[in-house]
Amino acid sequence: MSYTISLKAYSKIILHCSKYPHKAINGVVIGSVSKETQSVQIQDAIPMFHLGIGLAPMLEVALTQVEIYCDTKGLSIVGYYHANERVNDATISDTAVTIANKIAVNCDKACLLIVDNEALGDQTKSGLKLQVLKSDSGHSHWKEHLSALKFLDEQTIVNTRKLVQNNMAEILVDFDNHLDDIQLDWTNPKINRALPNGTIQ
């Protein structure tokens, strides 16, 4: 199974990290799964929380709204992303495993993306560690995928860096922001418009 990620999805994950550099953050990724080509295409990312990321009631509300949104777009939730609070910490937390397991119930090819903060400064690396659910001896666990997460656009890292430099993180909306002010749109149309045809003008 191969995994690819769009500029739209990758940039929102990195902008979410940039907006809250001293906090743990999380979100889900949405897209499509092709059994014919054995591939998962991550088309967008939905930033969720930077406060109390393990709170079950808010998580349920957020996931329900994302599922409804996906239904209107012909997409599905295909994974979960998570960044830990400390820069040098790229481990998988219990919270990340719990939420990723929940997503995997409905998508058996779901992925878990852990942000590797130390790798984000490297122009050749995505800064995301790809984990997939494996079953060994009757026990299921998330394990690093042998193949790297691939970009749909080879300029993804460069274009995302431009977004960060242009302070687009300031306008990124996650579900915590939306719950504070329901007029704030967690689909982030302003950021979407900054990426016409996959490039930044």
CB atoms within 10 A of CB 183: 6
Under CATH, what is the fold of the domain 2-198? Cytidine Deaminase; domain 2 (3.40.140)
Distance CA 89, CA 157 (A): 21
- How does residue 72 score in pLDDT terms, banded at 50, 70 and 90? very high
Helix 156-165 to helix 7-19 angle (10° resolution) is 40
Task: Sketch the domain layout of the chain as residue ranges.
Answer: 2-198
The reply to whether the predicted model has a pTM over 0.85 is yes
Of 1-15, 50-64, 91-105, 186-200, minimum mean pLDDT range: 186-200
Mean pLDDT of the chain: 89
